[in-house]
Amino acid sequence: MDYLSIFLVSFAIALSGALAPGPLLATVIYESPKHGFKTGPLLILGHALLEIAMVAFIILGLNRFVNNPLVFKILTFCGSIILIYFGLRMFLSAPRASLDLKSTPTGSSNLIFAGATVSIANPYWTIWWLSIGLGLVLAAQRQGLIAIGIFFLGHILADLGWYSLVSLMISRTRHFISQKAYRIMLSVCALALIGFGVYFGVSFFSKGQ
């Protein structure tokens, strides 16, 4: 493939994944009323830093280490616990959540850290990179480092565009959403996170029994 094809394929595949509901989307919905539009870009910055490391791991051949059944089970267990923790924290805070951006000012670094943490806690993120992502990176690698850079650019721009749009819409329309509706939405997202965590833990560990 030429560079344009690599970019378009990477963008399309990443966008299809970003559009699917998951832990990162739930975090964007939860944090956007508190931090405003910057929520999406900063969460994706943390997400992108983690994915740069994963691409480097694949290039260096370290994917064999992560593919080790024992290592993968450990990652799955830790990821499940983290997702359940985030979900419980979100659920418990939902009754007191506010749409007022001035009510809970926090530092930007927390969002960057959250973007990386929520991503690595999601076992499907690891599975994606060791399956679809692995194939795409290896295909781009045949054409050199520039092709890998273009692949990553297309991939991360899809995430950045979608999650920035979500955070923009939530932060700009908060005055048209009632506190009750917002808190219900947060509770649903929290239960989804807890459900993801429980499902990952049960499904992956049950395969080894």
Tell me: pLDDT of 51 over 80: yes
**Given this model, what pLDDT does residue 17 score?**
72
Average pLDDT over residues 45-67: 83
pTM listed for this prediction: 0.71
188 contacts 87 by C-beta, under 8 angstroms: no
Better-predicted residue by pLDDT, 65 or 11 = 11
What's the whole-number mean pLDDT along residues 93-120? 72
Is residue 105 over pLDDT 60? no
Amino acid at 88: L
CA 128 vs. chain centroid, Å, equals 12
Nearest residue to 205 via CA among 22, 81, 119: 81
SS3 assignment, position 12: helix
pLDDT value of position 19: 72
pLDDT winner (highest mean) among 129-138, 158-167, 190-199:
158-167
pLDDT digits (tens, 9 = 90+) for 183-198: 787 788 778 778 877 8
Q: Domain map of the chain by residue range?
A: 3-207
CA torsion angle 68 70 73 74 (round to 10):
-110
Confidence class for position 104, pLDDT limits 50, 70, 90: very low
Residues 59-94: pLDDT tens digits? 887 666 656 677 667 766 776 787 788 778 878 887
Instruction: Kindly write down the DSSP assignment for every residue of 111-143, as one continuous string.
Output: HHHHHHHHHHH-HHHHHHHTTHHHHHHHHHHTT
